[in-house]
Chain A
Amino acid sequence: MRKHIDSDTPLPYLNNTCTYKYMCHQLTIPRGTHMKLSLLLTSLADSATHYPNDIAFLTDAAAWSYEQLWARVSQYESVLAKIALPDGVVVAITAYKTVDTIALMLALGKQGHTPLVVSPGLGTSVKPTMYATAGVYCELAADSALGRPEVSFEVPTVLQVNSIPSAYTTTTSPLMLTTSGSTGTPKVVELTTEGINAFVGWGAEYFQLTRGSRVLSYAPLNFDLSLLEIWAPLLQGATVILVDTARATQADYLHGLVREQRPDLLQAVPMFYNLLCPEDDSYMLSMDSVRHVVFTGDTMPKGLCKRVATAFPQATFHNIYGCTETNDSFVYSGDALAIVQHERLPLGGPISGVHYRIVTEEGIELAGAGEGELHTSTPFLAHGYTDPSLTASVFYREPDGYRIYYRTGDRVARDEQGQLTLLGRKDCIVKVRGVRTNLQDIEQVLAKMPIVKNAVVIPVNDELAGVVLHAVIELTQSQKLDGMAMRLFCAQYLPQTSVPRRFHLHESPLPTTSTGKPDRKTIALSIQPKESEPA
């Protein structure tokens, strides 16, 4: 049962007793000892006071000044006061990418609560487990369709007795995010105040964010990318240009937005750059306002790098590696000439304060060149997951007991010069007839074919063969083609065991996740052999 509460709903304590929290609210005094996201809130209050007319957010519908944003945060505080949340609880926020959602998150932080930002598309089957593990008190969604702030309020069924939350957690974490869930159920990551402050500080300095900077925010709010796209600019009094989620895959829209709003920092996954700089040159106008172009989330194909380098001639390009648990940890930066020279963009060097280890399958730390799993320790490291057993499985204290490392699950190679290259996910390694095979290596070979737009290789269990590789291909154009051409091409570059045994060719786009990555689970389900078919 969802309840709606808005800023005109009568306050419950108006004529009765009054809580400390409510008193603070009436006096507009943040409860400093409990306030979360305090650095950001202090900075926002400062911008609202000293530069009230500076623009905090640009949306397709409106421009929000810092004064208006701060006022909206206060309005959401009023709404929250009527819910009378216990101190320091975890509140799930549906991450509709709006200024209202951001204002609600800030209001929660100001009142000492912890927003857990969840995707609007989070499956109902996943929520009960996730919310129980995180000890979520209630779920809120912000809206102001009627012109005044309103939240819908819901107590997760799994945690309630007679509609009252019966089990919930209090935490010092200022913000919780979830992992993508691409390797299973999304995990809830508890960020720390120190980690967030260190990260937004690094981001502001590295990308020279100042009052007057304009940052395009493409990622969903529930992604850690939002820390650089939203929280770091707000800390500096800069302007955030919010991309409308509903139109995030429309090339015309994105190109118009970049051209008209003239951001100086872009951060996005390769899909965004593919839309912005298509192969047919239809938008190849130089976008010279952009000073920093950040690639993240996936490997940038060489051809796309060239097109992006042409489109942003003035920019510095950054290939950033990181994950929700550690935030950004490696960065490679170079100009247009530099990035087009690489067959595959390198990981670059560790960000200031980041330490890393490369650990072999035998659990031995590499001293020199070689391959292994990347373990990182960053100043931005999360406290862990809300499930302690999951935390214990991937976070560990280094042997001398000083630093905490995170096992990334990513395989990297280090050459004799110390240069790191990302090889792919550890879980992308399968054994085909006893031979270790990297699925991403096969995908990269397939991607070299001009007729291949996207390629995903899926290992399918086979009763006799053990594992059989299937390649699912999205073609760049409609043409009569069969698997033989693919096989002949693969045979030039791959060992026999790596050549997929089945090819599924499609002219329509492959299913993708919300970040534009291939949705491997859905693709795998679509190719499961029927009983009557050979594997």
Chain B
Amino acid sequence: MIHEQNIKTYICEELAPDVDPAALPTDVDLLTTGVTDSLSLVRLIAWIGEEYDIPIADMEIAPEDFSSVEKVNAFIERHTVSGVA
């Protein structure tokens, strides 16, 4: 996953400072484990839009796309040229 480390770093620095990026599994549900909640999900999506230059404001968003690190990574890859920002 190209963006895994970047996503983990953002989540662990900004949303869940008590979590070590190395200990954050890529497939774990971020919502049920309290790593994100409905409010911090908005922050995460805003960061993705800004960091990867994705026009988030104009898109249909499904919260399911942001429920784990690997799904966030997949979302970014789908919406960026060659999957690279």
**Interface contact B18-A433, CB-CB below 8 Å:** no
Query: How many angstroms from the CA of A533 to the CA of B28 in the assembled complex?
Result: 25
> Is A482 positioned at the interface, with any CB of B under 8 Å from its CB?
yes
Query: How many angstroms from the CA of A368 to the CA of B32 in the assembled complex?
Result: 35
> Is A356 positioned at the interface, with any CB of B under 8 Å from its CB?
no
Residues of A within 8 A of B15 (CB): 534
Q: 0/1 per residue, A454-489, Cβ < 8 Å to B?
A: 000000000011000000000000000011110110
Contacting residues of chain B (10-41) with chain A, CB-CB under 8 angstroms: 14-20, 23-25, 28-29, 31-35, 37-39
Least CB separation from A498: chain B residue: B34
Q: Decide yes or no: A487 and B39 within 8 Å by CB, A482-B19, A505-B18 being known contacts.
A: no
Give the contacting residue for A465; candidates B20, B31, B33, B37; CB below 8 A: B37
**Interface contact A490-B33, CB-CB below 8 Å:** yes
**Interface contact A491-B33, CB-CB below 8 Å:** yes
Residues of A within 8 A of B31 (CB): 496
Residues of B within 8 A of A487 (CB): 16, 19, 33-35
Q: Decide yes or no: A488 and B33 within 8 Å by CB, A464-B39, A465-B39, A534-B14 being known contacts.
A: yes
Among B23, B24, B34, B35, the most chain A Cβ lie within 10 Å of the Cβ of B34
> Is A504 positioned at the interface, with any CB of B under 8 Å from its CB?
yes
Residues of A within 8 A of B38 (CB): 433
Q: 0/1 per residue, A502-535, Cβ < 8 Å to B?
A: 1111000000000000000000000000000110
Give the contacting residue for B32; candidates A499, A503, A533; CB below 8 A: A499
| Size band of the interface chain A makes with B | 20 to 34
**Interface contact B18-A504, CB-CB below 8 Å:** yes
Least CB separation from B28: chain A residue: A488
**Interface contact A491-B32, CB-CB below 8 Å:** yes
* Chain A nearest Cβ from B33, distance in angstroms: 4
Least CB separation from A497: chain B residue: B37
| B interface: dominant SS | loop
Residues of A within 8 A of B20 (CB): 482, 484
**Interface contact A500-B17, CB-CB below 8 Å:** no
Residues of B within 8 A of A465 (CB): 37, 39
Residues of B within 8 A of A499 (CB): 32-34
**Interface contact A484-B23, CB-CB below 8 Å:** yes
Give the contacting residue for B34; candidates A485, A491, A504, A505; CB below 8 A: A491
Query: How many angstroms from the CA of A261 to the CA of B69 in the assembled complex?
Result: 61
Residues of B within 8 A of A433 (CB): 37-38
* Chain A nearest Cβ from B13, distance in angstroms: 9
Query: How many angstroms from the CA of A91 to the CA of B85 in the assembled complex?
Result: 76
Query: How many angstroms from the CA of A487 to the CA of B12 in the assembled complex?
Result: 13
Q: 0/1 per residue, B26-62, Cβ < 8 Å to A?
A: 0011011111011100000000000000000000000
**Interface contact A482-B18, CB-CB below 8 Å:** yes
Residues of B within 8 A of A534 (CB): 14-15, 17
Contacting residues of chain A (62-94) with chain B, CB-CB under 8 angstroms: none
* Chain A nearest Cβ from B79, distance in angstroms: 26
* Chain B nearest Cβ from A127, distance in angstroms: 39
**Interface contact A500-B24, CB-CB below 8 Å:** no
Residues of A within 8 A of B16 (CB): 483, 487, 501-502
Query: How many angstroms from the CA of A501 to the CA of B18 in the assembled complex?
Result: 9
Give the contacting residue for B29; candidates A485, A491, A500; CB below 8 A: A491
**Interface contact B39-A484, CB-CB below 8 Å:** no
**Interface contact A483-B19, CB-CB below 8 Å:** yes
* Chain A nearest Cβ from B67, distance in angstroms: 11
Residues of B within 8 A of A505 (CB): 18
Residues of B within 8 A of A482 (CB): 18-20, 23
Among A482, A496, A500, the most chain B Cβ lie within 10 Å of the Cβ of A482
Query: How many angstroms from the CA of A505 to the CA of B17 in the assembled complex?
Result: 12
Query: How many angstroms from the CA of A11 to the CA of B3 in the assembled complex?
Result: 88
* Chain A nearest Cβ from B24, distance in angstroms: 6
Interface of B toward A, CB cutoff 8 Å = 14-20, 23-25, 28-29, 31-35, 37-39
- Given A496-B37, A504-B18, 11 other A-B residues pairs in contact with their CB atoms under 8 A: A482-B20, A482-B23, A483-B16, A484-B33, A487-B16, A488-B33, A491-B33, A496-B32, A499-B33, A501-B16, A534-B14
The 10 closest A-B pairs by CB, nearest first: A483-B18, A499-B34, A487-B33, A482-B20, A503-B18, A484-B23, A491-B33, A484-B19, A491-B32, A483-B19
CB<8 Å pairs between A and B, sample of 20 = A433-B37, A465-B39, A482-B18, A482-B20, A482-B23, A483-B18, A483-B19, A484-B20, A484-B23, A484-B24, A484-B25, A487-B19, A487-B34, A488-B28, A491-B29, A491-B34, A496-B32, A502-B17, A505-B18, A534-B15
